[in-house]
Amino acid sequence: AVELGFAEVQFDYVRLPDEPRERMATAIFPARRGGESARDAVRRQVRLLAGLVKPLGVPVTFDVFGLAATVTSGDLGIGQVWEDFTDVADVVLPMVYPSHYTRGAFGFQSPNAHPYSVVRLALADALARTSPNGTQIRPYLQAFTFGRRLPRYTPAEIQAQIRAAQDAGIESWVLWNPRSVYQRAALPPYRSDAGRLPVSGGE
């Protein structure tokens, strides 16, 4: 991929499955060593991947659950611990989709209804746990409506998330829609220079 001209290698969903414990007890993962914890298995693979990519001279990046930046005990049951990625990656992309936080997260009964606040608080956790070693945070933002959950995500909700990232000092972000349908009105105007444009919209 690098020899073909791709400027970055991005690994998505580096984790173990979130299956019931009894099923995981009998699952076989050839790359997981005997007696190795889920976290240790994932951490070893993350370091292996980073070691393979970095000599090629392009950034190595990992996508992780947004909750990994907030949870400080355990590995979410899937082997993901924030620092295990930020210690070796050039860029970490937390998926801070408001709809994917459970009731009560950040003090909200319906996190999906607070796109600005949820993204802002999630990124504050991520920044606080990232050592100043050059690792960048590039959040995935929600550009879709999750099932029947309200509100539906219009350009206003998407802009609110972009503004939250900017207010956290993060200028680089990724929008995600599983149907690959994106609303042009949600995007800030294009500028060829590095200047920052304000993004309107709120919760």
Q: Following DSSP, what letter does each residue of 23-63 receive, concatenated?
A: HHHH---TTSPTT--HHHHHHHHHHHHHHHHGGGTS-EEEE
Q: CA–CA separation, 68 vs 96, rounded Å?
A: 10
Q: CA–CA separation, 149 vs 82, rounded Å?
A: 28
pTM over 0.95: no
Q: CA–CA separation, 127 vs 119, rounded Å?
A: 12
Q: CA–CA separation, 27 vs 122, rounded Å?
A: 32
pLDDT value of position 202: 43
Digit-coded pLDDT (tens) for 56-86: 999 999 999 999 999 999 999 899 999 999 9
pLDDT value of position 35: 84
Q: Which helix (H) or strand (E) holds 195?
A: none
Q: Which residues pair with 142 in a beta bridge?
A: 176
In three state form, how does the secondary structure of 86-152 look?
HCCCCEEEEECCHHHCCCCHHHCCCHHHCHHHHHHHHHHHHHHCCCCCCCEECCEEECCCCCCCCCC
Please provide residue 134's backbone torsions phi and psi, each rounded to the nearest 5 degrees: 100, -10
Q: Which residues pair with 10 in a beta bridge?
A: 61
Residues in the chain predicted with pLDDT less than 70, given as ranges, are: 191-203
